[in-house]
Structure 1
Amino acid sequence: MDIITGIEQFAWIGWIVLIAVFLVIEMLTLDFTFLMLGIGGLAGLIADLFGAPLWAQVVIAAVVAALLIFLLRPPCWHRLRRGEDPTPSNVAALLGMSGLVLSTVTRLGGLVKLDNGETWTARTVDDAPDSLAPQTHVRVARIDGATAYVRPDQTQENRA
C-alpha cells in the first residue's frame, strides 16, 4: 500500500480530528468562525464517506465553510448580539461627558467634577486653552489612566 492510498483510505480520521479541533477552538472563542469551519469539515467527511477523491473532499469542505462564513455567520452573530446592552460603559461612557472645573486645569493638572458625580484629575488637551478657570464647563476628550483630558464645552458657553 503506497502513501497516497493510505491517506485516502484513512482520511475520515483526519476529518474527525479536524472537526473536533475546530469545535474546541469555537468553544474557546465563541465567534462562529470555527463552527462554520467545523461544519465545512463535516461536509468533507460526508464526501469521503460517499467515496469522493481527497482533492474533491477538500474543495467541498472549503466551499461549504466559505459559504457558511459569508452567508450564515453574520445573521447568527447579529442574533447573538441582539440582546446586548448598547449603553457604553467604563472609559467609553466617560468620553464626551461634560463636567465642571473644580480647581484650575492646566496642561500639568487640575480637578474636574463630571456629570456622573466623579471627581477626576484633569489636564487640558493640546488644542484647548492653556488654563481653564474654576466653574468652567468642560467636556472629556480622552482618558489616559486616571487622568481626564478636557476641553471647554462650547455648547454650555453658547447657552450662557
Structure 2
Amino acid sequence: MDWLTENLWSAWLAAAVVLGVAEMFSLDLILIMLAVGAVSGMVLALLGAPFALQAVVAAGASVGMLALVRPSMAKKLHDGPTLTQGHDKLLGQQGTVTQAISGLQVGRVSLGGDVWTAAPYDETLTIAEGETVEVLQIRGATAYVHPVPRLEP
C-alpha cells in the first residue's frame, strides 16, 4: 500500500493519458477537460498532498475547465468560416457585362475571369455592355444579375 501512495501520481498520469486518447475519438472537448483535472491531481500527488486534496483539486479543475474553457473553445471550433464552393461562391460577386442583356435575350458576363451566360434578375431591365452587375442567383449555367448603381458626379 505504501508503494501506491508514493506513486499515486502515476495513476493520475495514466488517467490523464487515457482521457486524452479517448478525447481524440470523441472530439467533444469534455474528456480533455477531465484530463486537465487529472494532471492537476498528478501535480499535487508529486508535491505529496493527501489523496483527498488531490481528488478535490482534480474535480474542481475539471469542473472549472468544463464551465469556463470548453464553451469558448467549442464556439471557436464551430464558428469558423464557411466554405463556399461551386456556384454559391459567385453569389454577391460583381462582374462586367460583355454582351448586352435583356429580359428577351440572354447575354454574357465576365465573373472572376470566366464568362457566364447571364439574364437580368428583373426581366424588365436591359443592361448594356460594359455595365457592372452583381450576381443575385445562379440557375443552371445562367447567372441572374442586377446592375450596380453608379454615383454620377
TM-score, normalised to structure 1, is: 0.50
Equivalent residues in 2 for 1:1-160 (5 A)?
Answer: 15-24=16-25, 34=29, 38=32, 40-49=33-42, 50=45, 51-52=51-52, 57-69=58-70, 73=73, 91-92=88-89, 95-100=92-97, 102-106=99-103, 110-114=106-110, 116-125=112-121, 128-135=122-129, 137-144=131-138, 146-155=141-150, 158-159=151-152
- Unpaired segments ≥5 residues, structure 1: 1-10, 27-32, 82-87
**Aligned residues: CA RMSD:** 4.4
TM-score for the superposition, normalised by structure 2 = 0.52
Report the structure number with the largest CA radius of gyration.
2
Aligned length: 126
TM-aligned CA distance change 1:152 to 1:46, over 3 Å? closer
Q: What percent identity do the matched residue pairs reach?
A: 17
In 2, the alpha carbon distance for the partners of 1:22 and 1:16 equals: 10
**Structure 2 runs not aligned, ≥5 long:** 1-10, 46-50
